[in-house]
Structures are given as C-alpha cells and as structure tokens.
C-alpha cells in the first residue's frame, strides 16, 4: 500500500454514489501524518453512511448448500 506524508481528499460538490465510506477510508489511510478533506459536511456525511453493496450471489449460494447440491443431482 502506497502511503504519503500528507493527503488531500477533494470530494465533488454533487452527491455521487461512487463516493462511499470505503473510498473515504482509503483516502484517509493513505496519509501517514496529516489529511485534509475538502467537502461539504452534508455530502461527506452521506458518503460515510453509504457502503459498497456487493452483489456476487455468494451469500445466497452459501445459505443453503445442501439444497443446491440436491437440486443439481437430479
């Protein structure tokens, strides 16, 4: 992971779904000593509350593996 002494995180002035809690975390943790965040308070709060929603289907596949195995054996 590449780190810097200081980091500047500049967020858009529009609410963009791509700006998530994980993106903010990544930006902040790149700084060893100091980070400045340029963003409106409301937009920053929305971004922090937004989490990445993964849609891999893994959860559903793991919830009932026996049912999956039995349905494939017929």
Q: Give the number of domains in the chain.
A: 1
What pLDDT score does 68 carry? 63
What pLDDT score does 2 carry? 84
The phi, psi pair for 20, rounded to 5°, reads: -120, 170
| Rounded average pLDDT per 10-residue block, the chain, 74 residues | 91 92 94 95 94 72 67 67
Q: Are strands 31-38 and 4-10 parallel, antiparallel or unpaired?
A: parallel
- Two structure tokens written together for 13: 């002035």
Residue-number span of the structural domain to which 9 is assigned: 4-73
pTM greater than the 0.85 cutoff: no
What pLDDT score does 52 carry? 82
Indicate which CATH number applies to the domain containing 53.
3.40.50.300
What pLDDT score does 74 carry? 58
């Amino acid at each position: 992971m590449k780190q810097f002494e200081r980091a500047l995180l500049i967020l858009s002035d529009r609410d963009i779904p791509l700006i998530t809690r994980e993106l903010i975390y990544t930006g902040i943790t790149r700084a060893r000593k100091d980070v400045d965040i340029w963003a409106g308070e409301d937009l920053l709060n929305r971004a922090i509350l937004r989490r990445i929603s993964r849609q891999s289907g893994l959860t559903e596949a793991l919830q009932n593996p026996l049912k999956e195995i039995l349905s494939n054996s017929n």
